[in-house]
Amino acid sequence: MSGSTTRYRIVVGVDGSSPSTAAAVWAARDAALRNLPLTAVYVLNPPMATTLRGIPMPTPANYLQRQQDEGRTILDNALKTAEDYAGREGQVEVRTELRIGRPVPSLAELSQSAELVVVGSHGRGAVGRRLLGSVSTGLVHHAHCPVAVIHDQGGPRPSQAPVVVGIDGSPASELATTIAFEEASWRGVELVALHAWSDTAMFGIRVPDWPAVRSEAECVLAERLAGWQDRYPDVNVCRVVVCDHPARQLVEQSDSAQLLVVGSRGRGGFTGMLLGSVGTDVAQTARIPVIVAR
């Protein structure tokens, strides 16, 4: 299949690791909630040429075939996992696709015609379980659609746990708000809209009149949410305004949430920076699924 001719809706990258299995389960549920088809993709790295003292070494016989067989086994397992879980939520069309190439460019290409790409927080070769793997890091920087990063820690959250979204008034935050309302509506849960005021709380500098700043920030947040609440009257919104670093507050809120949604960059992001520090910190530290709104 070619990304230029196929319309992908939800794509999940799988590699046989525990986070990738968690990603397949989460993607199946999200596809069922949205009533969208799901494509599980395994990307096989092509064999790299090796040398020994400058002499080219041949690729072992049947190497590529063995790798393809392993990839198809991983895809079959992901298909069964997704279909089993989706069956509990409703009928979902699940497809599989094996590609040869580099994982990040291959999945980024698919993201051009996808609505959401889902990946585990790290793959089989990741070192350090609190840090994002190279594939998830690459995608949150280079994908062309929102990316969901799924952590396999902390266990499942209650189905009625809220969705949390960080709002700062930036364009990326507007997209994050859209996604968050949709996800909360599909799940039938409360939405926690967080605005963390940190402009004058940085470097230990105290806000001179926090009550006045907070009152103004609450009014701005209410204005930004008003139109969305009209469009999604079924979603109850809890507004939270605090004086603290946004990433710290978002991760703290995630302790009692089932999903975090953040923008790809906020008010402090440079023009060329595709993922702000808040999104990076949250995607790396949170123990629940995080959608980066790209």
Quick one: tokens of 190?
A: 């409360």
> Considering only CA atoms, which of 178, 163, 154 is closest in space to residue 263?
178
Euclidean distance between CA atoms 282 and 65, whole angstroms = 39
Residue type, 229: Q
pLDDT at 90: 64
Whole-angstrom Cα distance, residue 8 to residue 285?
A: 29
The two three-digit tokens of residue 289, written as one number:
């699924």
Report which of residues 92 and 6 the model is more confident about. Answer: 92
pLDDT exceeds 70 at position 270: no
> What six digits make up the tokens of 191?
């939405």
Fold of 10-150: Rossmann fold (3.40.50)
Instruction: Compute the Cα dihedral for 245, 137, 124, 81 and give only its sign.
Output: positive
Residues 82 and 28 sit within 8 Å (Cβ to Cβ) = yes
Which of 224, 199, 202, 225 is closest to 213 using CA atoms? 199
Render pLDDT for 79-105 as a digit per residue (tens, 0 to 9).
999 888 876 666 789 999 999 999 999
Domain 163-293 has CATH 3.40.50.12370: yes
Say whether pLDDT at 275 is over 70: no
Q: Which residue has the higher pLDDT, 12 or 270?
A: 12
- Model confidence at 244, pLDDT cuts 50, 70, 90, reads confident
Structural domain boundaries in the chain: 10-150, 163-293
> Do 10-150 and 163-293 come out as alike in CATH topology?
yes
pLDDT, tens digit (0-9, with 9 covering 90-100), for 33-45: 999 999 999 999 8
